Amino acid sequence: MDHMSPSDRTWPAVILLQGADSDLPLAEATHELAHALVDEHADDVLLLKVATGLPQVRFDDAAVLPVLTVAAGSDSSANRAVVAALNRYAPHRAYVFLDVSGRDNPDGFTEQLVAHLDAADLDARLHLRLVRTHRGPLPAAWVSETDHARWRVLHTRVLSHTEGAIRGDDVSGARTEGGCGARTAPHPTWHDSRQDPEQVRVRLDQQGRVAAESLARWARAITRRRVGLALGGSGAWGFAHVALIMAMLDEGIPIDVICSSSSGSLVGGTYAALGRPGLEGLLADGYRLSLAVATAFVSMQPFEARLARQTSGVLLEELDVMFYPVVTNLTAMRAERVISGSLAWGVRASCTAPGLFGSTVHNGSVYVDGAVSLNVPAGLVSWLGADLVVAMNALPQPVGLAATGPRGPLFRLCQLRKSLGVVFQDMGRLQARGHITYNPPQAAYPLLRTMLFHRGRAVCEAAQAEPEFQSTLEQLRDAWNANRQPRTGVQATQWARTA
């Protein structure tokens, strides 16, 4: 018998998967997710299986993943049995995964169970997590529905093997150009408490490394361990972003969400679509990239077409790593993020330097460089669900202006150039405040050197050698190691209270 009073208990996060499509393997996904948490983080996890049959409770803790099976006849009896099982076996666990596939009508029982647990008289520290899965766009009923009173909802889009795969230089899959299908969303204001539905994308039809990475990403989203990048705009200085991403990959630090402006979008989008090979190709392709940037002074179309060929016309909504390029909408006079459509168009819009590059116009709006309004979108990354945010403000601050020498027009131009450099640097610092941030050291003529894309490899290697970069990487390593530690019931309670 359990003699603990409610005040003596720590309650787990209770996780229930719900599917919009009948063919989604929710039972298998529930088991694999529970195992992924045990394998990746050694969390204290319990799998609670609810079946139809004669009333019984069977507990098996011989395996790595303890399994509790509860059987009952009617749905109301099964609901009461689940509550009793949670009271008896759940305290001091970190997470409890509910598998209701053993019921005669799993979909109908799921709805009843959600409502029943909402109203159940459990300790207030019970934390409910509803993981809704779907293949296509978010179902309209889920978008408009008011969330259950106590359930935190995570929407999961299940990708097929034909979507967003790393396809190298194969251009046969290109499907979009000129911004076809692109949609944007306004950036939330700092006082806006509205929260978009948390989202993650996973693959359930893959094997080996891809399947393992997808499950691990899903598990991080459910347990609030996601890592996000905010990559600032800085022209050719943006190759320093390559150094950061490669260092994270070498350290085994995952990347789940990327928001970026300008050249940060070029680097972030290349990684999201093509992985590490894409970044290595970007470093090796500096002179061709410089040529593409030179044509941008006339039109941005060649730049977009080149990236579309390299990424096989991949769409933003097909990517495993959630990637949102930031743009400035000069028609609406606000910062926006591109949320769907062609990745190549989103990067193009985010990189359209105002007054220098060819125009980017779509659906009656004029879009320019995201760095104009949101240079280092660290707050956006956090707002979208990342729990550990790394910001990179790659544009160096200019060297100070000497007060000696002539005071003619050239001196005034120097004042303007250095003032713009200070504005962009300080704006990026402010937007990254409160997060792990890399700010490069001072450099001579940083704005004038933003177009030297052929120096990409040199910029990357210089960043890797910087003491400040190594210090940032050490902070990130320590933060990730702390976040990935095994969780007990007490730790899970503390996590949920701050979520």
Identify the active-site residue in 214, 260, 261, 262: 262
CA angle, 315 then 316 then 317, to 5°? 90
One of 75, 256, 320, 369 is an active-site residue; which one? 369
Sign of CA dihedral 27, 30, 31, 32: positive
Q: Is the pLDDT of residue 5 over 60?
A: no
pLDDT at 107: 82
Q: Which residues contact 213 (CB under 8 A, 6 or more apart)?
A: 320
369 catalytic? Reply is yes
Please report where in the chains the tokens 């935190």 appear, as a residue.
Answer: 152
Structure confidence by residue, pLDDT tens digits, 134-151:
887 777 666 655 555 567
Q: Does 7 qualify as catalytic in the annotation?
A: no
Contacts of 200 (CB under 8 A, 6+ apart): 154, 155, 156, 157, 217, 218, 221, 256, 322, 385
Q: 287 or 176, which is more confident?
A: 287
3 state SS of 419: helix
Q: How confident is the model at residue 186, as a pLDDT? A: 72
- The DSSP secondary structure of 164-205, one letter per residue, reads S---TT--TT----TTTT-EEEEPPPTT----PPEEEEEESS
Neighbours of 461 (CB within 10 A): 14
At 197, the pLDDT band (50, 70, 90 cuts) reads: low
Question: Which region among 125-139, 157-171, 232-246 has the lowest average model confidence (pLDDT)?
Answer: 157-171
Given phi > 0 = left and psi -120 to 50 = alpha, else beta, which region is 236?
alpha
pLDDT tens-digit profile of 141-188? 666 555 555 677 888 888 876 565 443 333 223 333 344 567 777 765
Confidence band, pLDDT 50/70/90 cuts, at residue 405: low
* Per-residue pLDDT at 254: 95
Comparison of pLDDT for 119 and 76, the residue scoring more: 76
The predicted-structure confidence for 377-388, as pLDDT tens digits, reads as follows 999 999 888 999
Amino acid at 81: A
What's the rounded Cα separation, in Å, for the pair 127 and 95? Answer: 9
Look at residue 83 in the predicted model and tell me its pLDDT.
86
